[in-house]
Structure 1
C-alpha cells in the first residue's frame, strides 16, 4: 500500500467537503493510504507571498516538514495549494539562508524542513504511482456512456517552471485518466483556461465571464459533465454557474464533478455516497 501525507486544504474543510469524503471512500480500493496532516495550516493561497515572503516560506516549510517527519511525500487535491506549497519549496531549496531562518523557528516545534518530501497533486499520484492500467482494471462501472469535458485549472499547469508535469498548452494527464475510467474526452478550447476564481471578489463580472466561456463551450460540445482537479475551479463552475450563465444569456446548465468523484463513480460508488448531492448543479 502506498502512503502519503495528505494536506487538508481550507476549501475542502469548508465548502467542498465532498471531495475529501469521496477520497476516503475509494483510497483503499487503489491501495493508497492518505495520512491526514491535521496539524497543517493554511498555505496562504496566492496572496501570502506578496504580503510577507518570510511567513509564506515559514508556514509552507512547516507543512512540508510535517510530511517529512512521517517520511512521506505531501499530496494535495487543490491546485492553488499545489502551486503555493511547491513555490515555497522551491524558494527554500534554493536559499540556505532562508532554510536556516525557517528551521530556527520550526525547531521550537521539533520540526525541520529538509527538502526531502515531494509536493504532489492527487491527479499525479493516480496517474504515476497507481498507474492508469491498474486503475482501468479496478473500474466497476465504466464511464462509457459519458462524454466528459476536462477542466484543468491554471495552478496545476502554470508556471511550468514550478509545476512541470503537463504541457500548459496541451495538457493530457486528466484526459488520460478519464479514458482509463472508460469515459470519452470532449475536446474543447477552454480546458486549460482560467476559471476566474481568484478575481471573483474584486471583479465579479469579469470572473463570471471567464467561467461562462468554459461552461458554454462544454455545453456546446455536448459534454455530459465537466470534471476538474481543483476545488476552487469547482466552486466557480458549480456554485456560481447560475449567475455566470445568466450573465452570458446561456440557457442550459451542466454538472461539474470533482476529480475524486469521477474516480469514485467508476469504482462503483453512488452519487449519494460521494456527496454529489451537495453540488448546486446536479
Structure 2
C-alpha cells in the first residue's frame, strides 16, 4: 500500500505543552511514525478555551483569526490534537467565513486589529482539523491498519469525545455529533474493542471545575464509572483538558463520589502509537496519575 504524504500547520495548544507534556510527546511520536509532517505554529497563542468570549466575542475572534492566519501563511490546514481548541478555533473559522458573506465590515475590523500588530490578515482560505479527523479522513483507516505492528487485541476502549469536538461548531462533515463512530473505528483499526456507554459524548466537567468543583468532579466520576460498568479497560480521549479532569483529577474525583475508580485514561495518539510499536516510555505513559500498567499488561508491553 502506498501511504499518502500529509502536511499540516500544527497548533498544539497550551495544556499538552505544559501540564500534560506526555500528550505533546505522543502526538509527535505518532505523526513521525506515520510520516505526517507537522509545522508547529510557534507564534500561535492560546485559543482561550471558550473563556475569551465571556468578556468579548471580538477578542476571541481576533485572537483565533490570527492563529488561523498563521496557518494560511503556510497554505496549510491548521491541525490540533485538542477537542477544545478544535471547537473554539473551528467555530471562529465558521463565524468569520460566514461574515465574509454577510458582514465584511466586521472582518475588516478584525484584520485592522491584526495589521496594527503587524500580523497577517485572516483570509478564510484554510480549514481547522482535529488529528482524529485527519487520521480518519486524510490518512485513512485502511492505511492506518496497514501500519499496525502490535494489534491491541483484547483491549476494551471507551471513547470519550467530550463536547467541544462534536458540538463546538455548527456542523462537522466527518461524523455524527450525537452518535459518533470515528474513535471507535480507529479502535477497530488498531485491533482494540470499542465499549459504548452513555457519557462518551458528554462534557467531562472541566469548564466548570474552577467555580463548581464538586459538580465538575461528579460529572467526571459518573462518566468514568459508566465506562467501568460497561467493561472498559481504559478511557481514550482526543482532548488534553478532558485528560486533565479524567486522569489528573481522578483521585480527587474518587473522594467526591466516595468510590474507587482507578481507570487509566489515554490520549488518542498514545493508544494508536502503542499499536505502531512505539515504546510506552516514548509516549510518557508513566507520567499519568492513574497507572497505565494494567493497559500495558493486557497488550503484552
Q: Please state which band the TM-score falls in when normalised by the shorter chain.
A: over 0.9
- TM-superposed CA distance for 1:145, in Å, is 2.1
Q: Structure 2: where are the runs of 5+ without partners?
A: 292-301
1:273 paired residue number: 282
1:183 paired residue number: 192
- TM-superposed CA distance for 1:110, in Å, is 4.9
Q: In structure 2, what is the Cα distance between the partners aligned to 1:160 and 1:89?
A: 9
Q: In structure 2, what is the Cα distance between the partners aligned to 1:26 and 1:195?
A: 25
- For the pair 1:18 / 2:27, whether they are aligned, the reply is no
Whether the 8 Å contact between 1:106 and 1:112 is mirrored in structure 2 is yes
TM-score (norm 1): 0.96
Q: 2:256 is matched with which residue: 235, 247, 255?
A: 247
> Number of matched residues?
282
Q: In structure 2, what is the Cα distance between the partners aligned to 1:2 and 1:168?
A: 26
- TM-superposed CA distance for 1:218, in Å, is 1.2
- For the pair 1:28 / 2:32, whether they are aligned, the reply is yes
Equivalent runs, 1:79-90 vs 2, <5 Å: 79-90=83-94
- TM-superposed CA distance for 1:245, in Å, is 2.0
2:241 paired residue number: 232
Deviation string 1:112-154 (CA, Å, 9 cap, x unpaired) is 2110110110100000000000000000111112011111110
Q: In structure 1, what is the Cα distance between the partners aligned to 2:54 and 2:261?
A: 39
TM-score (norm 2): 0.90
CA-based RMSD:
1.3
Equivalent runs, 1:56-135 vs 2, <5 Å: 56-95=60-99, 96-108=104-116, 109-135=118-144
2:299 paired residue number: none
Whether the 8 Å contact between 1:148 and 1:223 is mirrored in structure 2 is yes
- TM-superposed CA distance for 1:157, in Å, is 0.8
Q: In structure 1, what is the Cα distance between the partners aligned to 2:231 and 2:97?
A: 45
Q: In structure 2, what is the Cα distance between the partners aligned to 1:251 and 1:104?
A: 54
Q: In structure 2, what is the Cα distance between the partners aligned to 1:229 and 1:76?
A: 10
- TM-superposed CA distance for 1:160, in Å, is 5.3
Cα distance, 1:103–1:242 mapped onto 2, change above 3 Å: same
2:56 paired residue number: 52
Q: In structure 2, what is the Cα distance between the partners aligned to 1:77 and 1:57?
A: 20
Q: Which moved more, 1:103-112 or 1:41-50?
A: 103-112
- TM-superposed CA distance for 1:194, in Å, is 1.2
Whether the 8 Å contact between 1:153 and 1:194 is mirrored in structure 2 is yes
Q: In structure 2, what is the Cα distance between the partners aligned to 1:167 and 1:26?
A: 25
Whether the 8 Å contact between 1:209 and 1:244 is mirrored in structure 2 is yes
- For the pair 1:139 / 2:148, whether they are aligned, the reply is yes
- TM-superposed CA distance for 1:71, in Å, is 0.5
Deviation string 1:19-55 (CA, Å, 9 cap, x unpaired) is 1111211213222101100000111111111211222
- TM-superposed CA distance for 1:159, in Å, is 4.5
Q: In structure 2, what is the Cα distance between the partners aligned to 1:277 and 1:37?
A: 28
- TM-superposed CA distance for 1:158, in Å, is 1.1
Q: Which moved more, 1:268-277 or 1:123-132?
A: 268-277
Whether the 8 Å contact between 2:27 and 2:81 is mirrored in structure 1 is no
Whether the 8 Å contact between 1:160 and 1:168 is mirrored in structure 2 is no
Whether the 8 Å contact between 1:224 and 1:255 is mirrored in structure 2 is yes
